Each structure stands twice: as structure tokens, then as C-alpha cells.
């Protein structure tokens, strides 16, 4: 086939977007068909996602991307799910991973199956909100008792679009219930944890056709003709890693949006004790790969400061932060204490005080503290990923919304002592669209060929590390 038009639906924690991609065998071009805000909605004591608003955003996006689409693919943030009852009805709004219901849940799970044994099977880093811990927190609720199916967010949207039920593997690997070696559900772990294995639909690998858009979806979106929904790397980070424009194998990536996901791409999981203690994750990637990575708190730290300050413009703040002294104070951007929403500037100041550093007082100084801290955490994760996996790293690719943040890119290059190549901002959408295009037969090859298409289609910015760019070793010592 000479070309195709596909819609990449990419739902991030801070915004959802539908990108219309025109794909040829060696180049893609996209337009942003629709973007809509996303974020936690507090109802009573619980943080939710407004999943119907997201579904409507997807429909609006498909309408804007149409009227002719050759395929559709959906990716989103990981771990969260909707429950369906025996009639297929949604049992409540999906709970947001930042909700406090998981406080203490990991410990309760580990009391039944030790963390070492979980890691041996799943290779997953402990994040308090992994699906397995959310299910422990939900145990005994009427909702879970009534549930007959659990669908992660992209699988839920695919279900609403097509009627089909499937679990795409890359996102399934973030549940804590998938075997990282076999890429299959671990019914053994489910049994030991008292989790009903029949909740989980059959797994599919990225590239599989999930189904066709339902007639009422075609009618509502004004799309003409039929359109398959293709399973893409449905974990946004998996699609973003496909969209990394690396030319060789010796690269690390920093996928920076609400989170920074920092790591390397491997052919097989690394399930060592050292990796487990360093809290490295073996999340599964497209084409049988493993994303060996760690979560860093990401631009959430900045987003929450901005929200506290009444959402001032970002540009002037970043410019002021660039003029602040380097590394005056840093915090541990891996600390789960930063996960919940709420008064972020105060929490940052408290963390500085705890580690004997002068808390930043101005907005510019707080922003600089956040960006220095992120760069420091990027450096640590890049180094540890290389050490623990044996992968050589000679370049760091920064993709996602944070690739727009020149100060963050520059600091990351300085901290890592490696060149940073920044872009594309919409790496997840590129990766999503290219996996669809390959399923349609428009582009051919493996990840190297898909990445060559990304390189041919987008402008990239290179940042060389600067000598004298700050004493990062000393800054790291302050957090030791
Ligand atoms: P997510 O997918 O998690 O919702 P994105 O990848 O869309 O996140 O990244 C959002 C972040 O990108 C914002 O929080 C902001 O910090 C950063 N960003 C967006 N636009 C700009 C910009 N023009 N300059 C600097 N940073 C930006
Ligand atoms: C980034 C992301 C990340 C997960 C988090 C819940 O959007 O998918 O990879 O850890 O959301």
C-alpha cells in the first residue's frame, strides 16, 4: 500500500489528543485533530478519571481527523482500569492512580507474596499504584464483587469503540500480574493473591487488529467506510519508546511528560536482585522488547506548583529559572511522597529542609529546584539502567512534552555528561501511528525502520553536555 491515514489517540495524565497521521513508507506527517484537558476529579474522598469525557474527546477527535481513516489506535497512561459487570456496564468511574486508597496496599500484598517473588515473575518496579496494589485496596468492595471484566484504560476505550475485549501486552505489563519472561498473565500470582483470573481478557501483542469501529461510532463520528482499531503499544510509554528517533542501539530515553520514564531498551528482561533493589522495571515493549526503566516524578512537580500559583504563564517562569544559580537545592524526584496532589511548593521546601538545604523561596528558585532535581534523577536512572543491564549508552533521547523545555534538556545533558537529542514532543503519537501503519502494510520492518521514519519526519534539537555545568556528584551526595 502506498499510503494511509490513521488516527493516533494518546491520552496523557494532563491532556488527551487525537493526531491524524498521513503515512507513506518513509515519512509521516501529522496534524493535531483535537486536544482536550485531562486530570483528576475528586468526588467525595476519591480521585477519579472522567472516563466518559475522555471517550467523548476521542469521538470528537475521530470526527475531526476524518472523514476517512484507515485505522485507529489508542494509548494512555498505565495501571488504571475500568470494571464491567455481567451486562457489560461500567461499574463506576475508574479511580485515579494518585488516589490515597493504595496507602499501605503494597505492604499488604507483600505480606502474602514477598516483593522478591513478585519481582522474579513480573520484573516490575514497586509503585504504590500498580494495578495489583489497587486491586488489593479494592478487595471486598461491592464493585469488585460485581465485576466480571477488568479493562485497562486503552483496552476499555477499544472495547467501547469496537465491542471487542482484549488486553494489549505493553500496558498489561504495568499491572504487576504479567510474567515478564513469557509475556502471559501470571495466573499463579493471581491465585496466590486471591485475584479472580477470569477478570482479565486474553492478551494481544501490539499490531493485532482488535476489531472494527462499531456502526454507531461510525455514525457519531461521521467516518465513512470501515476502520479497524489496531492494538498499538497501548501503554503511552511503550508507544513513546517506539517513537524515539534513535539511530543505533546504544541509547537511553527520557520520556518526559507528567512523569519522566528513564531507561534503555532490551531484548530480554533483567530480573536481578540489584535491579529490584534499584527499583528498575521490566515493562514490556513493542516487538518483544523490554523497557528497562524507572519512574521519575516528572513535570508533575512543576504542574502542581503552577496549579498552586494559579497557573501563571510557563515561558517567563522557565526563563527566570534559567537565571537562577545551579543546584542551590535539590530534592529526590523519585520520592513517592510527591505522588499525591496538593501544595507542591510547600512539600518541596520541606524536602529541602529535611536534607539540610536552604529551601527555595521565590517561584523562579522553586522551578529551578524542580528542574535541577529532575535532571539529577535522569542522570541517576540513565547510569543505573546502563550498569544494571550492561547496555552501553552514548546518547540520551528526550521525548514528550518536556522536550519543549530547553532548560530541562540542557540540564539533563549536563547532568548525564552525554549529548541529549530532544524530540519529538509527540513521540507516543508517532509510535502509535507507526505501529498501525505497519499493521496496514504501509511501512515495513522492525523498530529500527520505524525509528528511521520518525527521524525523517521531524526536527530534533541536540544539546551537548557542558564542562563546568555544575557539580552533580556533590548534589547527589546531599540526597544520599
Ligand atoms: P502527559 O502526556 O503526561 O499529559 P505531555 O507529554 O503532554 O504530558 O507533557 C506535558 C508537559 O510538557 C507540561 O506539564 C509542561 O511542563 C511541558 N510543556 C508543554 N509545553 C511546553 C512549553 N511550551 N515549554 C516548556 N514545557 C512545556
Ligand atoms: C506515563 C505513565 C507511566 C506510568 C504512569 C502511571 O504517562 O504511563 O509510564 O507509570 O503513567
Cis before residue 424, ω within 30 degrees of 0? Answer: yes
Q: 189: part of which helix (H) or strand (E)?
A: helix 187-192
374 within 8 A of 300, measured Cβ to Cβ: no
Cβ(14) – ligand 1 distance below 6 Å: yes
pLDDT of residue 213: 98
Judged by its nearest atom, the ligand closest to the C-alpha of residue 374 is 1
Place of cell 526503566: 293
264 within 8 A of 391, measured Cβ to Cβ: yes
Cis before residue 67, ω within 30 degrees of 0? Answer: yes
Assigned C-alpha cell, 476: 547527589
Judged by its nearest atom, the ligand closest to the C-alpha of residue 98 is 2
Name the pTM for this structure. 0.98
Cβ(314) – ligand 1 distance below 6 Å: yes
pLDDT of residue 100: 98
Cβ(239) – ligand 1 distance below 6 Å: no
Q: Is 97 helix (H, G, I), strand (E, B) or coil?
A: coil
Per-residue pLDDT tens for 91-129?
999 999 999 999 999 999 999 999 999 999 999 999 999
Nearest atom within ligand 2 for CA of residue 13: 7
pLDDT of residue 470: 87
Instruction: Compute the distance between CA of residue 225 and CA of residue 147 in angstroms, rounded to an integer.
Output: 35
Q: 318: part of which helix (H) or strand (E)?
A: helix 314-322
Q: What is the ipTM metric for this complex?
A: 0.99
Instruction: Compute the distance between CA of residue 402 and CA of residue 416 in angstroms, rounded to an integer.
Output: 16
pLDDT of residue 469: 81
Q: How many CA atoms lie less than 13 Å away from 16 in the CB half-sphere?
A: 27
Low-confidence ranges of the chain (pLDDT < 50): none
Q: Is 444 helix (H, G, I), strand (E, B) or coil?
A: coil
pLDDT of residue 467: 86
pLDDT of residue 1: 65
Buried/exposed code over 183-211 (b: 16+ C-beta within 10 A; e: otherwise):
bebbeebbeebebeeebbbebbebbebbb
Tell me whether strands 420-422 and 395-399 are parallel, antiparallel or unpaired.
parallel
Beta bridge partners of 27: 24
Beta bridge partners of 284: 290
Assigned C-alpha cell, 194: 486471591
Nearest atom within ligand 1 for CA of residue 256: 6
Nearest atom within ligand 1 for CA of residue 236: 2
Instruction: Compute the distance between CA of residue 458 and CA of residue 453 in angstroms, rounded to an integer.
Output: 9
Cβ(258) – ligand 1 distance below 6 Å: yes
Ligand 1 centroid – CA 63 distance (Å): 25
Instruction: Compute the distance between CA of residue 83 and CA of residue 314 in angstroms, rounded to an integer.
Output: 38
Tell me whether strands 15-24 and 4-11 are parallel, antiparallel or unpaired.
antiparallel
pLDDT of residue 2: 84
Amino acid at each position: 500500500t502506498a499510503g494511509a491515514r490513521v488516527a493516533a489517540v494518546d491520552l496523557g495524565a494532563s491532556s488527551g489528543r487525537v493526531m491524524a497521521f498521513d503515512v507513506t513508507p518513509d515519512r509521516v506527517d501529522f496534524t493535531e485533530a483535537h486536544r482536550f484537558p485531562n486530570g483528576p476529579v475528586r468526588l467525595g474522598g476519591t480521585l477519579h478519571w472522567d472516563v466518559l469525557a475522555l471517550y467523548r474527546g476521542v469521538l470528537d477527535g475521530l470526527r475531526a481527523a476524518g472523514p476517512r481513516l484507515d485505522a485507529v489506535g489508542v494509548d494512555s497512561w498505565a495501571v488504571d482500569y475500568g470494571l464491567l459487570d455481567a451486562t457489560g456496564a461500567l461499574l463506576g468511574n475508574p479511580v485515579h492512580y494518585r488516589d490515597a486508597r493504595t496507602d499501605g496496599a503494597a505492604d499488604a500484598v507483600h505480606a502474602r507474596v514477598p516483593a522478591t517473588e513478585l519481582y522474579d515473575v513480573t520484573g516490575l518496579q514497586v509503585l504504590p499504584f500498580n494495578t495489583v496494589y489497587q486491586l488489593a485496596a479494592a478487595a471486598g468492595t461491592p464493585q469488585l464483587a460485581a465485576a466480571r471484566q477488568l479493562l485497562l484504560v486503552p483496552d476499555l476505550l477499544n472495547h467501547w469503540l469496537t465491542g471487542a475485549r482484549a488486553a494489549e501486552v505493553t500496558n498489561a505489563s504495568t499491572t504487576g500480574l504479567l510474567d515478564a519472561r513469557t509475556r502471559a498473565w501470571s495466573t499463579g500470582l493471581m491465585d496466590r493473591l486471591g485475584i479472580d483470573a477470569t477478570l482479565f481478557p486474553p492478551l494481544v501483542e501490539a499490531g493485532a487488529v482488535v476489531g472494527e469501529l462499531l456502526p454507531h461510532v461510525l455514525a457519531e463520528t461521521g467516518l465513512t467506510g470501515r476502520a479497524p482499531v489496531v492494538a498499538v503499544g497501548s501503554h503511552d510509554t511503550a508507544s513513546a519508546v517506539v517513537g524515539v528517533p534513535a539511530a543505533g542501539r546504544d541509547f537511553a530515553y527520557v520520556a518526559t511528560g507528567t512523569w519522566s520514564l528513564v531507561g534503555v531498551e532490551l531484548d530480554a528482561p533483567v530480573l536481578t536482585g540489584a535491579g529490584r533493589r534499584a527499583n528498575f522495571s521490566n515493562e514490556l515493549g513493542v516487538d518483544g522488547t523490554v523497557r528497562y526503566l524507572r519512574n521519575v516524578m516528572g513535570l508533575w512537580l512543576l504542574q502542581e506548583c503552577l496549579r498552586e500559583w494559579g497557573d501563571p504563564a510557563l515561558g517567563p517562569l522557565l526563563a527566570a529559572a534559567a537565571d537562577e544559580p545551579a543546584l542551590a537545592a535539590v530534592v529526590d524526584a523519585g520520592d513517592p511522597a510527591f505522588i499525591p496532589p496538593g501544595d507542591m511548593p510547600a512539600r518541596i521546601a520541606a524536602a529541602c529542609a529535611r536534607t539540610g538545604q536552604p529551601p527555595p523561596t521565590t517561584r523562579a528558585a522553586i522551578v529551578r529546584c524542580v528542574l535541577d532535581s529532575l535532571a539529577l534523577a535522569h542522570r541517576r536512572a540513565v547510569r543505573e539502567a546502563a550498569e544494571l543491564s550492561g547496555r552501553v549508552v552514548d546518547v540520551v533521547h528526550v521525548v514528550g512534552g518536556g522536550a519543549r523545555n530547553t532548560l530541562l534538556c540542557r540540564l539533563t545533558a549536563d547532568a548525564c555528561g552525554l549529548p541529549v537529542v530532544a524530540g519529538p514532543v509527540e513521540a507516543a503519537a508517532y509510535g502509535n501511528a507507526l505501529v498501525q501503519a505497519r499493521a496496514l502494510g504501509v511501512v515495513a520492518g522492525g523498530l529500527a525502520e520505524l525509528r528511521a521514519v520518525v527521524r525523517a519526519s521531524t526536527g530534533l534539537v541536540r544539546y551537548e553536555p557542558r564542562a563546568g555545568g555544575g557539580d552533580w556528584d556533590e548534589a547527589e551526595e546531599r540526597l544520599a
